[in-house]
Amino acid sequence: MIKDVLPLLNKTLLFSLLIMLFSPTLKAQDGEMIITGVYKGANLYVENPMLTDGSFCVNKVLINNSEMQRLPKASAFEIDLSHVGKGNHITVLLFHSNDCTPRILNPNAIRDKGHFQFIELDVTEEGLEWETSGEAAEGHFMILRYEHNSWVEEMIVQGKSSDKLNKYFYKVLHHSGLNKYKIKYIEITGKIYNSEILSHESSSEQVRFYPNRVSKLLSFTRPVKYEILDQYGKVILNGNSNEVDCSALNGGKYYFVNYDNKTERFFKK
């Protein structure tokens, strides 16, 4: 009997090894850098660092939502904008590895002077980075995150009130899977400037909660932003932690928990 099974096991093991050897390697989703402005007749030049495996930082470029063909495999390359037309708005989106950050060598080439604008925006596993010019006095930024099917305020960041170049960084705790952000700049007059939407696919593991029937503590497998809602959708508890003290909740009822861009239900004993 054992002799009959061994050849089958050997064939199965060989087949599994072949799959491992020849299947494509899956990589984590890239970071995104956005630069916007107006075409004035000059192209953009990008510094494109080489990675340890011999590949290069940038792996895809979109110009006004059209993909740049024949992306050069080089430590620096040129983005041809001549097809855009002088005076037209430009949005260039660079997809890059999370292990590096590309750099636009001549952002002034498309900078539209005289009013506020987002010059560059980038999102990686670490957080959001953005660069601006033309800020007014006492302006501020509102960072918005898309979660539970709506845009919610994440943080208010005070502007530097300088009309020259200003750089900002905001550390973000991404939820697992696809994350979307946008930034609003609000002048003291009430005028609002909206950034492009930034997307990032996080490589972090999905969060789980336990138990489904709670006596006192509801726990998460890692620290996470959460909301506890009653049966009518009213938020009654919220925070950012790996556990929630539910002892004050009325027993004998079901509640909802929003976390990691998911909504699930638990029972309070």
- Domain spanning 117-202 has what CATH number? 2.60.40.10
What does the block give as tokens for 119? 């010059």
Whole-angstrom Cα distance, residue 100 to residue 1? 56
pLDDT the model gives residue 146 = 93
- pLDDT at 1 > cutoff 90: no
In tens, the pLDDT along 253-262 reads 999 999 988 8
H/E/C letters for each residue in the chain? CHHHHHHHHHHHHHHHHHHHHHCCCCCCCCEEEEEEEECCCCCEEEECCECCCCCECEEEEEECCEECCCCCCCCEEEECCCCCCCCCEEEEEEEECCCCCCEECCHHHCCCCCCCEEEEEEECCCEEEEEEECCCCCCEEEEEEEECCEEEEEEEEECCCCCCCEEEEEECCCCCEEEEEEEEEECCCCCEEECCCEEEEECCCCCCEECCEECCEEEEEEEEEEEEECCCCCEEEEEEEEEEECCCCCCCEEEEEEECCEEEEEEEC
**pLDDT above 70 (res 2):** no
**Domains of the chain, residue spans:** 31-109, 117-202, 209-268
Using 50, 70 and 90 to split pLDDT, how confident is the model at 114?
Answer: low
Q: What is the pLDDT of residue 55?
A: 93
Contact 116, 130 (CB under 8 A): no
Q: Work out the pLDDT band at 188, boundaries 50, 70, 90.
A: confident
Q: Which residues pair with 104 in a beta bridge?
A: 46
Range from 66-80, 104-118, 213-227 carrying the lowest mean pLDDT? 104-118
pLDDT reading at 11 higher than 70: no
Q: Tell me the whole-structure pTM to 2 decimals.
A: 0.59
Residue 102, pLDDT score: 93
164-179 per-position pLDDT tens digit: 889 999 998 888 889 9
Contact indicator for 159, 138 with CB cutoff of 8 Å? yes
Inform me whether the pLDDT recorded for 86 exceeds 50.
Answer: yes
Position 7 pLDDT exceeds 60: no
Residue that is written with structure tokens 């107006």 in the block: 38
Q: Given the structure tokens 């492009």, which residue do they identify?
A: 196
Query: What's the mean pLDDT in 36-63?
Result: 92
